[in-house]
């Protein structure tokens, strides 16, 4: 299959198993910088999209009106803190968006207005080209432009003629230039990137205003962010909870009026009068009960999740894809570049029929000196490192290049009176050469060759023929696919999360099995053709599984589109980038594993903060209910287990806690909760303990501490 | 034996009996609902009604069946009461007043059995036998049918069909309820429960006063009253009446009967979804909540402060001497934990916190173990909500029994979860705002408020027990409680069936190491926690002004 033939960017060392997904810490200045945005978001025409906070805003307006009508310290303090609650919620979203905005600014710089050199009536190989200058935004789908060294590529497209080195740092941040050439899988170019040398002809594949950079800007800014399925479901639940609490608070009024009427001797308080619970206290109770914490942070969590991907140079084209990444059951990974380093390397020389090891090494190195393929270079290097053989200058040599017909390469060395022919290549081809040149082949060679194949390596047989002697086989080179460091640990971690990894390779089943065993993947698909990949995805999905894969070639496009999470490499073709729902700007296929972790972390953060938010309510009841009714039913003072100073201070403390907890949790919402891969039960137990039990206890402590301060507020 | 010791033995023996029954009863129910064979008598019924017993229904058709059947039931029962003076066996009693007839019809069709009438003076034998007793079977069967439809939703995949309502209904009546009712009635008769068509006898007491002792077909109604978690007594005194519940051991049998189906249905559920551990986990969730509640109510009744309890050693007021305080407390907890509502003691006389416990039992939404069928679907909906909230914390889109919980499922679950609290709170608040409705309270202060709160809680959760101390036979209460009972029964059923349809249509997600294990103790603890927190958060303000204000 074609996709495995490409070598990955050399600059990607196998990252040292990042078991924890993290993002940058929150800079306090970010909060202050985002304040204007947060205030702008108070506009009810936009805030209504967040029903929980919209209710808080209505409550804030209501309490402000009441405070103006009957100004007391208590009323005004409550009103101010209710407004702060809404502002804090907006702040969370603004900060999350602010990070994306900075990223978008950088991208906008790349989107300079360039003048394109459009070619009219271009045909392949045409001698005379009719060229005109048009502004880049005027380019249409299908236009053909020419770009030369030093010029900016005016739009996304595919190279249809020529080869050039391109600086893509504007979008990837990677300064090393990349090669783009017509045909094959490295033909896609992105508008805004710069051609460094040579000349290419590009066919534009974007519509005006829909370039890759345009889409990236929209994405990181969250311009048309849509709620993900899981977010929608959570919103429904939060709305239901809000309605229940609205009912619980609203229906309290007639009960309170009755209670007050039954005990006429009890004095009226700031909380309870003969007309029932005062408006300010009712609103306070409502705001404390409805799930404001998660309501305030929900969209920030989503934006921050996308942002965490962007920081890793992955662009998710939809939030849905990020969420799906957390649910993935099966990872399809191309062997080359993902699991193995990408180049086969010589790891062992095995001599046969009593040949000296050194002789074999020498012959192997000589035959490879002119071989510029990575495999050939690795033979030279192995001989040097293992046997101390230096590269030498050869006086007279006739290099025999590799061809698909001969399936071997080699050299004819001409010394005075002697011609030494050395050949290295596929065992069948070389052994045939030996027989054709008077030699005979022993069983020993066949045994070694089979052994190498069985262990997952590629055997190359080395043979020589000296003048006047029959040809003979010297030994076998073991070319191995070297598995990247740390892959086994990563796959083990995935397995604990219930994710099955499947290696896709064009190798024969024998080799594939050996490499799969060494890397620790669960399964492999050998001799895979692009349509096999598609079939495998469909089969997995048929069983209800979600599949993630990476790909770059045009023939990967259908599979990328079919997969639930399709990560296209930025080096790939535009077809692949169109088909996938994520693009990895670094073109590092191993990143799929990180993407899955980020998706999981996003879901965990949502669940943890929802649990925390609901658990918080218990303490607030213990603060507010006795405060409201202790005047009529003194026995309810037993519920005041925090021993709060006064009813007014108790209610105020609960409201203040409710507002402050939002700000306190913004960093957590942006960063995501700590995530270490483990079994579902272990993760659940930990998160339940921290966010469930912690969520019950934290507000008891917090409200008490706030009360210790608030009680000294004059006039309360 | 000490009072507390006898109470403990009563509870322990019930627990053992229920644990023993769990497997055989659950397995029997499983066979009833998965069998492909129809009994001959069933075929006759299907032919008479005109349904194809081998055809299945979508959730919408199933729901239409439930609603249509129940609507016809309400009309029939209403008509029977209104016309009873023209029919046989009326014992000369007049037609029931329209508001009361409406209330009673709604009450018995919804498995609530709230009684604003007094059986021995208002209803003739025909209404009792052909109306009320019939609904005791039918309403219980409807509840089980809906629960089974929901379980099919979990068990099936990629189908629009959730079963056949008519088959589920008929089989529940014929294969489960009737056989037990026949045998059980004979057992009760042997213990002294009356069973006749006589209007009763007149006797002269030793003091020379004339006394009318009413008779009637009591045992046949008593048995299904408990077994179908109905709770509507033949007599006004319900199971406190010696003709309904003569001795200590019939008391035990009644508690056992009202718990046994609801506690065994989780086994059926586990069998149907192909994983018995899932069923056991649900049963344990129910048991934890139930044991907690029974122990708490007993503790409050035996130890709570108050003049009478401190003088006598326990809260004996309103209890029958032949049962004793703990056995009455256990009966009261069991009847409020299931949607039965039968009583063998007067809940109004319970200590403030004991009464709060009974109210809270109903507020749980009748899930521990709840009514026949309704308990299972209630707890499954709560399990769905728990999985959704806590399940996110394992880093996957929440799944329960290999079904994804997405917006559609959460919509149905949330609506279900919203309905009952809305009815309770709005109903109570409305009654408390009306002078006329407040006039029905026989007590002032927080206790009076508890009476109203209890009434709407009982109606909305289809329990049917009364706190007494509230004159509910007024046009206001008859009408509103009737409406609350119907909404509290059928709106949730429609949402449950919607959930079933939505689950059945899904493709199952294969379980993996990353899946939340919904049969482990951690999950059991989570559901219990979520249930308690959700109920506390919803009802604490109202409880604070009623029983808590009184008891603290």
Q: Verify whether the Cβ–Cβ distance B429 to A254 is below 8 Å.
A: yes
Q: Is A186 annotated as a binding residue?
A: no
pLDDT at site A170? 74
Q: Name the helix (H) or strand (E) containing B249.
A: helix B248-272
The pLDDT > 70 percentage for chain A reads 94
Q: Which residue has the tokens 């009068």?
A: A273
pLDDT at site B314? 66
Q: Verify whether the Cβ–Cβ distance B545 to A618 is below 8 Å.
A: no
B306, B391, B396: which to substitute to probe chain A, counting the most A Cβ within 10 Å?
B396
pLDDT at site A408? 86
Higher pLDDT residue, A397 or B220?
B220
Query: Does A254 touch chain B if contact means CB atoms closer than 8 Å?
Result: yes
Average pLDDT, chain A: 86
Condensed to tens digits (0 to 9), the pLDDT of residues B511-542 reads 888 888 999 999 999 999 999 999 999 999 99
Q: Can you tell me the mean pLDDT for A674-698?
A: 89
State the CB neighbour count (10 A cutoff) for residue B174.
Answer: 17
pLDDT at site A17? 36
Query: Does A688 touch chain B if contact means CB atoms closer than 8 Å?
Result: yes
State the CB neighbour count (10 A cutoff) for residue A488.
Answer: 16
Lowest mean pLDDT among A432-436, A505-509, B112-116, B402-406: A505-509
Residue B547 with chain A: CB contacts under 8 Å: none
Q: Is A402 annotated as a binding residue?
A: yes
Provide ipTM, 2 decimals: 0.95
Query: Does A617 touch chain B if contact means CB atoms closer than 8 Å?
Result: yes
Cα angle for residues B147, B150, B155 (degrees, 5° grid)? 125
In order of A247, A420, B349, B410, B411, the CA distances from B418 in angstroms are: 10, 90, 31, 12, 10
pLDDT at site A572? 74
Residue B55: phi, psi to the nearest 5? -90, 150
Give the integer Cα–Cα distance in Å for B301 and B297: 6
Give the residue from A675, A22, A670 showing the smallest Cα distance to A300: A670
Condensed to tens digits (0 to 9), the pLDDT of residues A220-258 reads 776 667 788 899 999 999 999 999 999 999 999 999 999
Q: Can you tell me the mean pLDDT for B414-442?
A: 94
pLDDT at site B207? 87
Lowest mean pLDDT among A277-286, A394-403, A496-505, A561-570: A394-403
Condensed to tens digits (0 to 9), the pLDDT of residues B154-191 reads 999 999 999 999 999 999 999 999 999 999 999 999 99
Q: Verify whether the Cβ–Cβ distance A255 to B526 is below 8 Å.
A: no
Please say if the pLDDT value at position A391 is more than 70: no
Residue B513 with chain A: CB contacts under 8 Å: 495-498, 679-680
Residue A697 with chain B: CB contacts under 8 Å: none
Active site residues of A: 334
State the CB neighbour count (10 A cutoff) for residue A654.
Answer: 31
Exposure of A107 in the CB half-sphere (CA atoms within 13 A) = 23
- pTM for the model: 0.88
B365, B384, B387, B394: which to substitute to probe chain A, counting the most A Cβ within 10 Å?
B394
Give the integer Cα–Cα distance in Å for A325 and A321: 6
pLDDT at site A14? 37
User: For A65-174, where are the E strands, in sequence order?
Assistant: 115-120, 130-135, 144-148, 157-167
Q: Can you tell me the mean pLDDT for A327-353?
A: 83
Q: Give the B window 364-403 contacts with A, CB below 8 Å.
A: 385, 388-397, 402
Residue B309's pLDDT band (boundaries 50, 70, 90)?
low
Of the candidates B393, B429, B514, the beta carbon closest to that of A607 is on B393
Residue A556's pLDDT band (boundaries 50, 70, 90)?
confident
Q: Can you tell me the mean pLDDT for A70-76?
A: 95
Q: Which residue of B has its CA nearest to A683?
A: B394
Q: Can you tell me the mean pLDDT for B481-502?
A: 98
DSSP tag of B396: S
Higher pLDDT residue, B184 or A212?
B184
The pLDDT > 90 percentage for chain B reads 83
Q: Verify whether the Cβ–Cβ distance A327 to B548 is below 8 Å.
A: no
Q: How far is B517 from chain A (nearest CA, A)?
A: 7
Please say if the pLDDT value at position A489 is more than 90: no
Give the integer Cα–Cα distance in Å for A428 and B529: 70
- Per the DSSP assignment, residues forming a β-bridge with A462 are A424, A475
Exposure of A544 in the CB half-sphere (CA atoms within 13 A) = 14
Query: Does B548 touch chain A if contact means CB atoms closer than 8 Å?
Result: yes
Average pLDDT, chain B: 93
Residue A144: phi, psi to the nearest 5? -115, 130
Of the candidates A258, A544, A606, the beta carbon closest to that of B509 is on A544
Residue A527's pLDDT band (boundaries 50, 70, 90)?
confident
Condensed to tens digits (0 to 9), the pLDDT of residues B199-209 reads 888 988 888 88
Give the integer Cα–Cα distance in Å for B449 and B429: 10
- Per the DSSP assignment, residues forming a β-bridge with A272 are A277
Of the candidates A262, A495, A601, the beta carbon closest to that of B445 is on A262
Q: Is A408 annotated as a binding residue?
A: yes
Q: Verify whether the Cβ–Cβ distance B526 to A681 is below 8 Å.
A: no
Give the integer Cα–Cα distance in Å for A112 and A511: 49
């Amino acid at each position: 299959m074609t996709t495995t033939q490409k070598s990955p960017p050399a600059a990607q060392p196998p990252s040292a198993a990042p078991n924890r997904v993290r993002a940058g810490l929150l800079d306090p200045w970010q909060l202050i910088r985002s304040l204007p945005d947060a205030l702008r978001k108070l506009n009810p025409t936009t805030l209504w999209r967040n029903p929980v906070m919209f209710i808080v805003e209505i409550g804030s307006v209501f309490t402000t009106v009441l405070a103006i009508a009957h100004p007391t310290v208590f009323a005004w303090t409550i009103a101010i803190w209710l407004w702060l609650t809404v502002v804090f919620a907006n702040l969370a979203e603004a900060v999350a968006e602010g990070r994306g905005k900075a990223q978008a600014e950088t991208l906008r710089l790349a989107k300079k207005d360039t003048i394109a050199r459009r070619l009219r009536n271009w045909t392949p190989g045409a001698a005379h080209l009719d060229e005109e200058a048009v502004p880049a935004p005027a380019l249409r789908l299908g236009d053909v432009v020419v770009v030369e060294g030093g010029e900016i590529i005016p739009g996304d497209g595919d190279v249809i003629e020529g080869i050039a080195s391109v600086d893509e740092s504007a979008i990837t941040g990677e300064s090393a230039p990349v090669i783009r050439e017509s045909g094959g899988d490295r033909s896609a170019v992105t508008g805004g990137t710069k051609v460094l040398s040579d000349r290419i002809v590009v066919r534009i594949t974007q519509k005006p205003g829909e370039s890759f950079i345009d889409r990236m800007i929209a994405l990181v800014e969250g311009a048309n962010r849509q709620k993900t399925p899981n977010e929608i479901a959570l919103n429904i639940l939060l709305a239901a909870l809000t309605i229940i609490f609205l009912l619980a608070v609203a229906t309290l009024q007639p009960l309170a009026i009755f209670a007050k009427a039954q005990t006429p001797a009890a004095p009226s308080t700031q909380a309870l009068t003969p007309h029932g619970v005062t408006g300010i206290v009712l609103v306070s109770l409502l705001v404390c009960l409805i799930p404001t914490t998660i309501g305030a942070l929900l969209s920030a969590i989503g934006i921050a999740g996308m942002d965490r991907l962007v920081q890793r140079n992955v662009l998710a084209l939809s939030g849905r894809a990020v969420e799906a990444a957390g649910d993935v059951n099966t990872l399809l990974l191309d062997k080359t570049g993902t699991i193995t380093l990408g180049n086969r390397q010589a790891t062992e020389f095995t001599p046969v029929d009593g040949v000296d090891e050194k002789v074999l090494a020498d012959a192997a190195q000589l035959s490879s000196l002119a071989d510029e393929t990575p495999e050939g270079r690795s033979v030279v290097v192995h001989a040097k490192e293992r046997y101390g053989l230096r590269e030498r200058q050869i006086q007279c040599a006739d290099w025999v290049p590799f061809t698909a017909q001969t399936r071997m390469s080699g050299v004819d060395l001409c010394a005075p009176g002697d011609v030494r022919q050395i050949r290295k290549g596929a065992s069948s081809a070389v052994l045939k050469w030996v027989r054709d040149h008077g030699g005979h082949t022993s069983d020993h060679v066949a045994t070694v060759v089979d052994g190498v194949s069985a262990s997952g390596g590629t055997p190359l047989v080395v043979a020589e023929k000296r003048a006047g002697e029959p040809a003979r086989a010297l030994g076998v080179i073991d070319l191995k696919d070297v598995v990247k460091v740390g892959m086994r640990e990563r796959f083990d971690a995935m397995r604990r999360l219930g994710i099955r990894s499947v290696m896709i390779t064009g190798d024969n089943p024998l080799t594939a099995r050996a490499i799969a065993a060494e890397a620790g993947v669960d399964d492999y698909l050998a001799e895979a053709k692009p349509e096999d990949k598609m079939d495998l995805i469909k089969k997995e999905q048929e069983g209800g599984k979600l599949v993630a894969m990476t790909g770059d070639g045009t023939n990967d496009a259908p599979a990328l589109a079919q997969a639930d999470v399709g990560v296209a490499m930025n080096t790939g073709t535009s077809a692949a980038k169109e088909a996938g729902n994520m693009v990895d700007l670094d073109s590092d296929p191993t990143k799929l594993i990180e993407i899955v972790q980020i998706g999981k972390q996003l879901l965990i953060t949502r669940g943890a903060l929802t649990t925390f938010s609901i658990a918080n309510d218990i303490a607030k009841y213990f603060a507010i209910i006795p405060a409201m009714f202790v005047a009529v039913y003194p026995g309810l003072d037993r519920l005041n287990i925090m021993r709060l100073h006064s009813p007014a201070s108790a209610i105020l403390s609960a409201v203040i806690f409710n507002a402050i907890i939002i700000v306190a949790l913004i960093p957590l919402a942006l960063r995501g909760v700590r995530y270490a891969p483990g079994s579902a039960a272990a993760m659940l137990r930990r998160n339940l303990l921290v966010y469930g039990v912690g969520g019950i206890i934290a507000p008891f402590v917090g409200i008490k501490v706030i009360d210790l301060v608030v009680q000294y507020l004059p006039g309360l | 034996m000490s009072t507390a010791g006898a109470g403990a033995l009563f509870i322990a023996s019930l627990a053992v009996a229920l644990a023993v029954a769990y497997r055989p009863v659950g397995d029997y129910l499983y066979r009833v609902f998965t069998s492909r064979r129809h009994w001959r008598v069933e075929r006759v019924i299907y032919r008479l009604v005109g349904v194809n017993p081998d055809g299945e229904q979508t959730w919408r058709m199933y729901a239409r069946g439930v609603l249509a059947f129940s609507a016809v039931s309400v009309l029939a029962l209403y008509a029977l009461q209104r016309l009873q003076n023209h029919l046989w066996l009326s014992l000369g009693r007049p037609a029931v007043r329209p508001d009361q007839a409406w209330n009673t019809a709604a009450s018995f069709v919804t498995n609530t059995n709230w009684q604003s009438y007094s059986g021995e003076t208002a209803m003739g034998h025909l209404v009792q036998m052909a109306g009320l007793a019939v609904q005791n079977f039918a309403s219980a069967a409807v509840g089980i049918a809906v629960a089974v439809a929901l379980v099919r939703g979990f068990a099936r995949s990629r189908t629009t069909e959730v079963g056949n309502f008519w088959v589920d209904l008929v089989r529940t009546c014929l294969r489960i309820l009737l056989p037990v009712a026949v045998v059980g009635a004979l057992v009760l008769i042997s213990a002294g429960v009356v069973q006749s068509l006589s209007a009763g006898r007149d006797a002269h007491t030793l003091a020379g006063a004339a006394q009318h002792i009413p008779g009637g077909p009591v045992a046949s109604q008593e048995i299904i009253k408990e077994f179908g978690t109905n709770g509507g007594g033949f007599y006004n005194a319900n199971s406190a009446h010696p003709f309904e519940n003569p001795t200590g051991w019939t008391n035990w049998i009644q508690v056992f009967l009202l718990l046994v189906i609801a506690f065994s249905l989780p086994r059926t559920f586990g069998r149907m979804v192909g994983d018995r551990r899932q069923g056991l986990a649900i049963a344990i969730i129910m048991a934890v909540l139930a044991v907690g509640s029974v122990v708490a109510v007993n503790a409050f009744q035996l130890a709570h402060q108050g003049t009478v309890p401190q003088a006598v050693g326990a809260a004996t007021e309103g209890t029958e001497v032949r049962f004793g305080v703990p056995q009455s407390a256990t009966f009261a907890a069991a009847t409020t934990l299931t949607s039965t509502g039968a009583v063998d003691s007067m809940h109004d006389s319970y200590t403030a916190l004991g009464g709060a416990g009974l109210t809270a039992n109903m507020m749980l939404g009748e899930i521990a173990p709840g009514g026949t069928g309704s308990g299972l679907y209630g707890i499954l909906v709560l399990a769905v909500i728990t999985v959704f909230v806590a399940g996110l914390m394992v880093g996957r889109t929440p799944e329960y029994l290999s079904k994804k919980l997405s917006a559609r499922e959460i919509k149905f679950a949330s609506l279900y979860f919203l309905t009952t609290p809305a009815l309770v709170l709005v109903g109570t608040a409305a009654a408390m705002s009306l002078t006329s409705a407040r006039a029905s309270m026989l007590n002032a202060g927080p206790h009076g408020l508890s009476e109203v709160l209890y009434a709407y809680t009982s109606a909305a959760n289809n329990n049917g027990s009364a706190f007494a101390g509230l004159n509910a036979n007024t046009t206001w209460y008859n009408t509103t409680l009737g409406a609350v009972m119907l909404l509290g029964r059928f709106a949730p059923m429609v949402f449950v069936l919607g959930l079933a349809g939505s689950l059945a249509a899904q493709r199952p997600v294969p379980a993996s190491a990353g899946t939340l294990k919904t049969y482990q103790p951690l999950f059991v603890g989570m559901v219990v926690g979520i249930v308690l927190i959700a109920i506390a958060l919803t009802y604490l303000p109202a409880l604070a002004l009623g029983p808590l204000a009184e008891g603290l």
